[in-house]
Chains A and B, each alone.
Chain A
Amino acid sequence: MITKNDIDIFISKIPPAPKTLKDTFGLLQIGDLVKAAKLAESDLALKSYLKNLVNKPIYGFKNEVSDISQIFGILGVSLSQQAVYNYMTSLLSPDEWLLFKLNAASFYELQAQLSKKWEAILTYLKVEDKDIYAAISLLPSSIIVSEALFCKSIDDVTLLRTTKALDYNTILTRLCGIGLFDICEKIAHKWEMNEIIPQIIHSASGVRPSDDEEINKLGKWMHLLLFFELSQPQFIEAGLNDFVDFQVDYVSDIYDEFATLMEIK
C-alpha cells in the first residue's frame, strides 16, 4: 500500500522555505515588523493568503484588513510568524483533495480556527514564546501528509478500516515504521523551524509524550484542541474525526480547564 520509499519520495519533494519567507522570518525574529511587512508585500501569494486568513470571522475584525503592514501590526510578532508558517504549510496542500473532503477554503478555515484557539490557550497558560505560538502551524501538515500518502490507496484503506478501526498514523507506522508526526518533524527540519516545534507536535500526537513536562503540557492542550476542532461538523464530514487516534486518558487532567476556556457546556 505505502512503502518507506513512497515516504522518502514525498519528503524529498517538500520544497525548502523560499528566500522571501526566510528573510521575512528573520525580520520577524528581531521584531522588525515594518521591514518584514514590506518584504511580505512582494510575495503576492503570501499577501493574498494573509489577507484571507485575518479577515475570517474568528479574527473578529469589523472592517476588512488588506494592508500587510496593518496585518502584521495588528497581529504582533508571534502571531505574524504563526500566520506566515500557516502559509508555508498551506503550500504543501494538494490542488485537489481526494482522501478527505476538504478544499483550500475549508483547510484555511481549520488553520484559522486552530491558530486563534491556540492563541487563547497560550494566553491562558501565560506562554509568550513565539516559536510555541508557531507550533500550531505544523499540526495540519499531518493531514496533508495523510492525504498525500493514502490518496492512491483509498479503496484499500477504506476496506481495511471497515474491518478494523485503524487510524492513518497507526497504519503508516505498522507498514513503514514511521508515523505521520515523524514526517511532520522532517518537514520542520527542512524548514529550519525551532527544535521545540516538532517536539510539541510529537507530544500533541498523543502517542509519544515528551519527557519534558512543559512540552508535554503544551502537547496535551494541542491534542485536545485538535479533537475539539475535528469534532466540528464540517471536519467530521471531511472525514477528519478519526484520521488519528484521540487519547482521552492523555488529556483527562486538563479537560476541565479546557472546557471552561472554550466555554463548553
Chain B
Amino acid sequence: MTEMTTRAWLLTDAPQTRRQARLGAIYQGWLTFRANRLAMFGLAILILLVLMAIFAPWLSPQSPFAQNLAERLKPPSAAHWLGTDALGRDILSRLIHGSRITLFIVGTVALIAPVIGLFVGTVAGFAGGWVDQVLMRITDIFLAFPKLILALAFVAALGPGIGNAVLALAITSWPPYARLARAETLTIRHADYIAAARLQGAGPLRLLIGHVWPLCVSSLIVRVALDMAGIILSAAGLGFLGLGAQPPMPEWGAMISDGRTYILDFWWVAAVPGMAIFIVSLAFNLLGDGLRDVLDPKGAKE
C-alpha cells in the first residue's frame, strides 16, 4: 500500500474491522497531537533522553566515576565540555549516565502508583458501601499528608537509597489516582453495557478487569503524564537531601548537592545538572498538556 491509501484507510468514515477502527482512532489522536508544536518539542526531548540513557556508555566521553584530582573543578572547556566536579569527574559523562537513574525512578514510580490507585479506586467505586467508605478514608488520610514530608519520613524509616526513594514516592503519590479512578468508575458503574455484561454472567472480577479498567486507563495516563514532572522534581529533591541515590551514583539531584559547597566560585558544578532536571521536567509538562488535548478533551478547558 502506498502512503496515500494507508492514510485514507486510517481516516475512513466506515471502518471494516475493529482493528481498522482502533488504528484510525489512534491516528486521529496522533494528528491532533502533532499539531501541538510544544508537545512535539517535549516529545522530541524525551526521545533524546531515552536514546541518551540507552547509549550512555558509548556517548559519554569518560567514565562517570573516573576521578582525576589534578583536573578538579575545571570550567567548561574542549576537554570537558561541561567542566569537572570536586573529584575531577567529567560532568557531561555523569549527566549522561544520570539520565538512566532519572528514567528508572520516574518510570518505576509512574508504573507503581497509578496501578495501586487504579486498583483501590475501581474496587471502591464498584463495590460501594462500606468497602468504598474504608478505602476512601485511607486515601484521604494519605492525601492529607504533605507528600514530600511523608516521603522523607518513609525514607528515614527504610534507610536512604534509590529503591527506597522509589518506594516512598510511590506510596505518597497513589491517592490522586485512586480518587480519579473511583470517579470514573462511579460514572460508568450503572451504564447499560455493564448491565449487559452482567446479564451474560460476568462476575465482579471480570467486569472490573475487562470492562471498568480499560475505560479508566486513558484519564489515568493523562494524569500520569502531567505528574511526571512532579515525580522528577520530588526524586531530585530526595537526592539533593542525600536520601535518594547514594554516592558515587551520578543522580542529578545529588550532583546539585555536591556542587552546592562550591556554588559561589565554581557555579557550573551545580548549575548544569539543575538545568538538565529543568529541561526534562519541562518536556514532560509539555507532553502532558499535548496528551491531555488528545485523550481527555473534556479536561482541556483552556
Chains A and B bind each other: no
State the B residues within 8 Å of A (CB): none
State the A residues within 8 Å of B (CB): none
